[in-house]
Amino acid sequence: MTRTEIKIGGFGGQGVILSGYIIGRAASIYDNKFATMIQAFGPEARGSACSAQVIVSANEITYPYITTPQIMVLMSQEAYTKFSPELAPGGILITESELVVPHNLRKDIKHYSIPATRIAEELGKRMVLNIVMMGFTTGVTGFCTHDAVKQAVKVSVPKGTDELNLKAFEAGFEYASKMAKTEEEVVA
């Protein structure tokens, strides 16, 4: 794809906006692509619905708003209810398996799910669930290279948390790799 539209949704405090920032940075600085990001959130600082809309493209981006995202990453039930109908035909839906219960899934989409919150808690901090989701999304979609997103994570997170965040990224990426391997075995 020359232009990939990505929408990330969740509630304030889950790192939705940081996730969008990481994707944009990975694409534009470390993967030699173009990127734009637009963020939207409710009036409350935490707990309200929020989203990040990112476009990643091999070509210059002349219109920065997404119209029909091909990739959607949803980390709350409210975000699922509000945003999932916008997913493009044949799109990829990625959800946090313990916070989102998908219903009426369209037959034309690919759905992937990960217990990102539990993985983050096992690493020692629930707060890194968004970085687990970024690793998983990178592994499932390949919107950018592993190394580009890893570099973006490293320079985007607060100083002193980079080691934990890199572990979270790798845990999500590894989960995607294991899922792909299991799918290959089932097909074979």
Contact predicate 75/98, CB 8 Å: no
Question: Domains of the chain, with CATH numbers?
Answer: 3-100+107-187 (3.40.920.10)
What number of CA atoms fall less than 13 Å from residue 139's CA on the CB side? 22
pLDDT attached to residue 158: 93
pLDDT attached to residue 61: 95
| pLDDT tens-digit series, residues 20-41 | 999 999 999 999 999 999 998 7
Q: pLDDT category, 185, cuts 50, 70, 90?
A: low
- CB count within 10 Å of CB 21 equals 18
Q: What is the dihedral of CA 71, 75, 81, 85, to 10 degrees?
A: 0
- DSSP lists the bridge partners of residue 55 as 5, 36
Q: What are phi and psi of 92, to 5 degrees?
A: -110, 125
